[in-house]
Amino acid sequence: MRFFLDTANLEELKKGVNWGLVDGVTTNPTLIAKEGVAIEEQIRKICDIVNGDISAEVVATDTDTMLTEGRKLAKIHKNVVVKVPLTLDGIRACSTLSREGIRVNVTLCFSPAQALLAAKAGAYFISPFVGRMIDRQGPRLVVEIGVTILVLGLALTALAREAWQFYVTLGLLVGVGGNLLGYGVQSVILPNWFVRRRGLAIGLAFSGVGVGSIVLLPWLQILIARDGWRWACLALALIVAVVLFPLNLLLRRRPSEIGLKPDGDTAASIRAAGPRASNIVDPAWAAVDWTLARAMGTARFWWIALGYFCALYVWYAVQVHQTKYLIEIGVSPMEAAWALGLVSLAGVPGQIIFGHVSDRIGREWGWAIGCAGFVICCGALIALQAGPAPWLLYTMVLAQGLLGYSMTSVLGPIVAEIFEGPHFGAIFGSVMVAAITGGAAGPWVTGVLHDRLGNYVAAFWIGLAATVISAIAIFLAAPRKVRRVAGQMQVSKPR
């Protein structure tokens, strides 16, 4: 385990070093500006205090100037890691600097695909960004930025002619924009609004992904066949802009911002209802003001990180390679494509049903149900190697969609119920570093194993084992020992 502080304050760093907790530091120009000292001078002072990797960020936006700044920063001290943004120019700078032997930290990473892109360019570290941004700026700004980037990416894709233009538009802009609207961001917002039916609420919200796939994808396919994919990109950009721009203006970080309590309660309704059940099991733990630094000093944080890494590993390994594998073993390309679509369809009721179930029996069991889905899925995929039996294909689809995709309904609640508080976004975002890493590693390792062994059997066995480890890790994190879910609470009686 390595522990990095996100600060440029020398006193905070000295305290961390005295505690023996700090392995490195990640900074940015904004943090250094708050200290009122020139960047190079402050980086030298930080390097004198902390004997570890120190990320120092460039301020340029074009490749050539990033390279000039990066080389200059790298000369300050042997421990300096140059931080660049995940833009096209940043990726070019990362590739060049890494070839020169300069270590690079790529920031503004929002998805497993982008993490893999940064790693391919030679990144030494990757820094996801969303959670802390939500804590500081609120969801409306983050989501509206995502909508803007997504609309821009889709619209510009329609004009793309060269391969690099598709990398920038579909690969970068659409990827970043989509992830600023996706599971990670919503998992930070929704737990603040719901307690008693948190799993159900999140399951309902995330089922919209499957519903959208069912409604929009066939229509887009018809539009592509009739008018071409460029018009389909423009049409989708228009829909996103017209629907999501005004809709997301309603977003609030917490219900207190509009005078409500979680679950839509008001102060008056709470008084009228009388004594309510307490969901706190460990008062001492719940009373802690959980900052990212404090959370990372606990075993629970790292059990969650391991659980999420393993879960996203198998999720993306299966999702990326499933269609190719089915075609290899004799399933028709049309059936293989439909199988992937049916997984999303099965995920709609799965997320709702098992999100609700997790409100009754606990988040660990909700997560275990999702893991069981991927265990069955991987087992069915391994069995299909002997021949494309239809019942195995349907078992794989139902297990992956109905059970496996239900994980999303407890992704946020697991972290929220352990580390609830004003810094939840930063903590959740940091846990998602592990998830993103797993999501990037899964498809890559699976592809390498296939190329070396000639089949996917070993890769799917590894995915199955990773899923079991994920379930065990979340039971060890034990959110049930910090806060009860609604179905396990006892009503407090007045004395």
Handedness of CA 272, 278, 284, 289 (dihedral sign): negative
3-state secondary structure of 142: helix
Query: How many whole angstroms separate alpha carbon 466 and alpha carbon 449?
Result: 15
- Does the annotation mark 83 as catalytic? yes
- Counting Cα atoms < 13 Å in the Cβ hemisphere of 232 gives 14
Single out the catalytic residue among 15, 72, 83, 324: 83
- Walk across the sheet containing 24-26 and list its strands: 4-5, 24-26, 53-57, 80-85, 104-109, 125-128
- Burial class from Cβ neighbours inside 10 Å (0-12, 13-18, 19+) for residue 213 reads middle
Strand partners, 53: 24
CA 18 to chain centre: 32
Amino acid identity of residue 468, one-letter, is: V
**53: part of which helix (H) or strand (E)?**
strand 53-57
- Counting Cα atoms < 13 Å in the Cβ hemisphere of 438 gives 24
- For the chain, the straight-line distance linking the first and the last C-alpha, in angstroms and rounded, comes to 47
> What does the angle CA 71 – CA 28 – CA 295 come to, to the nearest 5 degrees?
125
118 neighbors 106 (Cβ within 8 angstroms) = yes
Residues with active-site annotation: 83
